[in-house]
Structure 1
Amino acid sequence: MNKNHLSIIKVTGIEMNFNLRKILDNISFDIKNGERIGLVGYNGTGKTTLANILTGKITPDKGFVEKSTELKIGYLTQSIDYEANELYSMEEDLLQHSSKIGLKKVSAWEEKRLNHLSGGEKLKLALSNVWASKPGFLILDEPTNHLDFKGIEWLIEELEKFKGPVLIISHDRHFLDKTVTRIFEIENTKLNFYNGNYSDYQKEKQHRLETQMHHYEVQQRKKEDIEMQMEQLSSWSEKAHRTSTKQGRDYGHKEYHRVKAKKRDAQVKSKMKRLQSELEKNKVDKPLEETKVRFQFDTKGSRGKRIIEAKSLSKSFEERSLFSECHFYINHGERIGLLGENGCGKTTLIKMILGETAVTGGDLWKSDSLKIAYLCQDVDNLPAEKTALEVLGFTDRENILKARTLFANLGLKEQFITKPIRTLSLGERTRVKLVEMLMKEYDVLILDEPTNHLDLPSREQLEKTLNEFAGTIITVSHDFYFLNKLCDKLLVFENQKIKRMEIKPEEYFNKPTRAEPTDSKESLMIIENRIATILGELSLIDPKSPKYVELDNEFNELLKQKRKLM
């Protein structure tokens, strides 16, 4: 038998309840060797619970999991907090993996550095740990949440080399499209199966919904027809009864109508029973409607007005320089994506804009009247014992009603918003923070990995809504789809510099190397983008500065190249 057709895990009749609420109902499937499965579904539907049942961390209320006792499962959980002393004890194999993901010289890092790891750096170490354990089956819960694009590409390549089966819980559409060939979807306590990657699943799901809707509408018309027949039969029956009880001298005539009425009654009952069973036999449920997520924003301010400006900006921590001598600006109404590897200083720049971290050198100016909302990666900093409604702090009826509506639109039902924050999942806490932002008027939204922990319908609705927002958006995201739909300008962190680029993320990622342009059109685009960047930088620098002369020379050289190409 082909090894790839062997079942590694067999699940039969799993049922799971939490607080009298059914999460999983009669779930059965098996996972074969070498399979690549994406597990998707709304937040709170039981994806992580199912993963924990597979690893044996949780015992189901009913059903069982069959697997070999020798099977080693490598499980990357959503929680990735490592202490420095844990990292010091890591094996050579692990350190080798961490350098491949883009964490160089981990073994040489001092304790201070290990205690100030970015979310991405922690996740890379956690991934290396899973890899180094040499598992036979991988379960990855949101593996791309904190990874930069280089890390995501590394992970895609490594998964191609891995021979065992992989189960990936993810809301990253690009990553799922590149890695999986089957989709398991948890919906309404059941498990639905789809072949193909995420894009295939979306098309097939839409097709299934449309087919079900068609059958449902046919059934509804049939039901109306049956109900009309039943009504007609009932009215005939009542008429027969009325005729049989009419006052009159002719007893024989009354008796004839009474017998006729009884006969009609029996016919009606029999016909109704038949119609009822016909309906039940072919019953088609109405398709579950996708939860509609709605965000609302109010904002004021004039587009094009400069709101943030950096001149010769530098930042370093003790001996470690993050970036230096950087010049860039941000205008009102722009959508700016921050791009760069983990640990390059993206979150640090955000903290500098918020005034939480001091500038080391140069100047970072921002408009005094700016109202900035910040959604950070850390959703653990909400007061644990307060409820979601208490966190918002509104006391007037109108705002409480508006908040409740927003929570409902985001998929947080009444039972969640009246429970302490500590009982909420990471995705549910992200929603609490989003509602807090949406309830107030802001000019600038700073979003640090806003789609982490958000399920797919919420991600897609957030994209649409942010496109309607008139203010400025500055975002760090490793969700390629999200970033590309939203941003048309970039601040790129490269070689300890921050450069403003007037292009979309996909243009940046697909740009040919400057040494080997594929054709003159692309070369021209690269030159024009660089000219635009230099002009922006020149406008911010003192003409006496040596940097001005250097940029001016580059500008003149680029103009010559442009003339040649044209």
Structure 2
Amino acid sequence: MSLLSVTDIVKEYQHKVVLNKVSLTVQKGDRVALIGANGAGKTTLLKIITGTEKADSGSVIKAHGIKTGYLSQSADVEELFEDKTALEYEKIERIEKQIRDLEHQMSHVQSHSEYDCLLHEYQKALDQFNSLEGYQVTASLSKILNGLGLKKEALHVPLSKLSGGEKIRVALAWILLESPELLLLDEPTNHLDLDAVEWLESFLSTYGGGVLLVSHDRYFLDRVTTRFVELSNGTAVESKASGYTSYIAQKRERQSFYQKEKKRISREIRQTRQLIQDLKSRSNVGAFHSREKTLERLTESLDHMSNEATQNHLKNNLLLKFKEVDSVHVSAEIAHAKNFSKSFGDIKIFDHAEFLIRGGERVGIVGPNGCGKTTLINILIGADEDYEGEISLGDWVKYGYMGQTVAFSDEDVSICEEVCHTFDIDRKQAQQILSDYGFFGNEVDKAICNLSGGEKVRLKLAILLMNNPYCLIMDEPTNHLDADSRDSLESMISDYKGSVIAVSHDRYFLTHCMDRILEIKDYGFVSYPQGYMQYNAGRKKPVEKQEAKPDVKVRTKKDPVRTQKLEEQEEENKRFLENEKLIMEKEARLQDLLEQMSKENRPELYAEYGKLQKELDMCYDNL
């Protein structure tokens, strides 16, 4: 069943064609990824599909009566949800409370007439609850909130009161709870921690509707997508590769074939031209005309191949190579913490935590949302001095910092003006420097406010690296970068001789660029000296084994305290498993009750269901 049909969409901005007769379809069960460089038109196409932008021509047809859920990258969340709470859940909760109150009254009433009156109200409330799919929503709610790392209370907070990351996650929870037949997701993993990303992968992999998504998370694309549509130079090309790795392998294979054929034909053209000149000098007219026809045929073949490579997006992209930092001082020690504690009011973030980062190390900081990753970075760079104990970067460490939100003091100026002003150089010098970072020609005159997220990150990195830092400190550096820019960043970090401290949930980046992982856990740090693969293997094991052998470079609490903590973790793990078993038993009984309630209209069944649902909620709260 076709849920979405996009046909010949054309969109132009300031005389530049962004989308040129773009077409695609999404069937039930499809998980289609829109991919392409920053500025290729992916988000524009999603906005046209949702109706928030108009196409210059073309059509968008959705199946009649289907519900569509759209998650934008950030700014449009307020427009979509305005003054609503994260979920219009209050009505269901109110009716559910009414049902439970009526159940309580019915169990204590003495009069038959009063019982009948209460039963009538009960049935009316139950019908209303069922019409809102209350049972399904309640059952789905805990599952989705737990998966996205949200507490139930977050659903009652106005979006204006939430942080950017919370806002996106809560909006995603709302969309998923509405169970739309068609999901449109623009960078859904940007504000999710590793556990939430893996949960979303699992959720989407079994999703019954259709999904059209934009993402640059390569592992996520590998695990979720069934088809790809690549946008480039305004046109769309579809691939039926089942994963991003497979898609890239197929594309590179075809690119290699085209390159080899192009070289072969170009070589034959040169040889034929040389032979024509030789035949002409010897006045061999017959052979001369024959070779001219051969030359014409070869030239047509080359033109045809070049056009076909363009149409199929097979021309090799320029892989941006960041200019290498001139000189880097590598210290024995870059950063350390000892007996470091940090709290926000009664909320403990770190408690007597310790770590050591040595010069030349590339360390990835990981942990769930809200565990203190960005807080740690802010303390290291001196933006937050409200803590106890000892933590610092070396006074001699010249660092460059790039936060999650990339912004410039004046975004109305051009790229070139920003560099000229920052380094007090002339336009010619700025153009030469910017060319090292992939900004060419008139592109340097583009206003910063008109740059894509990826282009802003690239400019910020360029300015940081021009200062020749000894240490790069980065908070989610790959969030807004397209695949080619991520490859360039990873190549730059691999070649960089200094130290890198990076907060990231990009599994590919952590695997290929970070030597060591520091996990924030239980108000302290756990080191994985063999990198992300060791960390990922450790988090799949029982809790008590994850901290068994910390790296010698990271000093945690004293042994007696550590032993006590391990015992507490073991007890907590035991309680968790028992609670999980209890949840499974109660959910199975709820399912049995639902089947009975669909056949029999007995008040005691509804009363038991209400009581069991309340117990199940308590179990989820105890997780």
TM-score (norm 2): 0.73
Match status 1:72 vs 2:67: yes
Stretches of 4+ aligned residues off by more than 6 angstroms: 81-85, 108-111, 267-271, 552-555
Which residue of 2 is the match for residue 175 of structure 1? 220
| Match for residue 396 of structure 1 among 404, 419, 425 | 425
Higher helix residue share = 2
| Partner SS for 2:436 | helix
Match status 1:297 vs 2:342: no
Q: Judge conservation of contact 1:326–1:499 (CA < 8 Å) in 2.
A: no
Deviation at 1:492, TM superposition (A): 1.4
| Partner SS for 2:382 | coil
In 1, the alpha carbon distance for the partners of 2:565 and 2:412 equals 58
Q: Judge conservation of contact 1:40–1:171 (CA < 8 Å) in 2.
A: yes
Root mean square deviation of aligned Cα: 3.2
Q: How does 1:302-341 map to 2 (within 5 A)?
A: 302-303=330-331, 305-341=332-368
Which residue of 1 is the match for residue 456 of structure 2? 429
User: What letter is aligned with 1:191?
Assistant: A
Deviation at 1:306, TM superposition (A): 1.9
Q: Single out whichever of 131-140 and 174-183 deviates more from structure 2.
A: 131-140
Which residue of 2 is the match for residue 53 of structure 1? 48
| Partner SS for 2:189 | coil
| Match for residue 445 of structure 2 among 398, 403, 418 | 418
Which residue of 1 is the match for residue 517 of structure 2? 490
Identity %: 31
Change (3 A) 1:19 1:273: farther
In 2, the alpha carbon distance for the partners of 1:82 and 1:60 equals 21
In 2, the alpha carbon distance for the partners of 1:484 and 1:306 equals 23
Deviation at 1:338, TM superposition (A): 0.8
Q: Single out whichever of 50-59 and 156-165 deviates more from structure 2.
A: 50-59
In 2, the alpha carbon distance for the partners of 1:395 and 1:531 equals 45
Change (3 A) 1:554 1:49: closer
Deviation at 1:197, TM superposition (A): 0.7
Deviation at 1:87, TM superposition (A): 6.1
Match status 1:532 vs 2:557: no
Which residue of 1 is the match for residue 185 of structure 2? 140
In 1, the alpha carbon distance for the partners of 2:448 and 2:521 equals 39
Change (3 A) 1:86 1:340: farther
Change (3 A) 1:299 1:210: same
Which residue of 1 is the match for residue 5 of structure 2? 10
| Match for residue 102 of structure 1 among 145, 149, 173 | 149
User: What letter is aligned with 2:193?
Assistant: D
Which residue of 2 is the match for residue 22 of structure 1? 17
Q: Single out whichever of 123-132 and 101-110 deviates more from structure 2.
A: 101-110
Structure 1, unaligned runs of 5 or more:
1-5, 241-263, 518-522, 539-546, 556-566
Which residue of 1 is the match for residue 249 of structure 2? 203
Q: Single out whichever of 178-187 and 357-366 deviates more from structure 2.
A: 357-366
Q: Judge conservation of contact 1:501–1:533 (CA < 8 Å) in 2.
A: no
In 2, the alpha carbon distance for the partners of 1:513 and 1:418 equals 50
| Match for residue 224 of structure 1 among 267, 270, 273 | 270
User: What letter is aligned with 2:63?
Assistant: S
Which residue of 2 is the match for residue 163 of structure 1? 208
In 1, the alpha carbon distance for the partners of 2:540 and 2:290 equals 80
Deviation at 1:207, TM superposition (A): 1.0
Matched residue pairs, number? 502
Q: Single out whichever of 454-463 and 123-132 deviates more from structure 2.
A: 123-132
Change (3 A) 1:48 1:548: same
Which residue of 2 is the match for residue 33 of structure 1? 28
Q: How does 1:343-354 map to 2 (within 5 A)?
A: 343-354=370-381
Change (3 A) 1:314 1:81: farther
Which residue of 2 is the match for residue 244 of structure 1? none
| Match for residue 276 of structure 1 among 271, 280, 296 | 296
In 2, the alpha carbon distance for the partners of 1:33 and 1:553 equals 52
In 2, the alpha carbon distance for the partners of 1:191 and 1:457 equals 18
Which residue of 1 is the match for residue 532 of structure 2? 505
Structure 2, unaligned runs of 5 or more:
90-136, 567-623
In 2, the alpha carbon distance for the partners of 1:362 and 1:460 equals 39
Which residue of 2 is the match for residue 188 of structure 1? 233
Which residue of 2 is the match for residue 253 of structure 1? none
Deviation at 1:229, TM superposition (A): 5.5
In 1, the alpha carbon distance for the partners of 2:529 and 2:294 equals 70
1:41-73 CA-to-partner distances (Å, cap 9, x unmatched) read: 111111112222222333333332232342332
1:416-470 CA-to-partner distances (Å, cap 9, x unmatched) read: 3212211112111111111111111111111111111111112112112212212
Which residue of 1 is the match for residue 470 of structure 2? 443
| Partner SS for 1:227 | helix
Q: Judge conservation of contact 2:86–2:154 (CA < 8 Å) in 1.
A: no
| Partner SS for 2:490 | helix
Q: Single out whichever of 459-468 and 294-303 deviates more from structure 2.
A: 294-303
Deviation at 1:399, TM superposition (A): 4.4
Deviation at 1:301, TM superposition (A): 2.5
Q: Judge conservation of contact 2:30–2:211 (CA < 8 Å) in 1.
A: yes
Q: Judge conservation of contact 1:121–1:343 (CA < 8 Å) in 2.
A: no
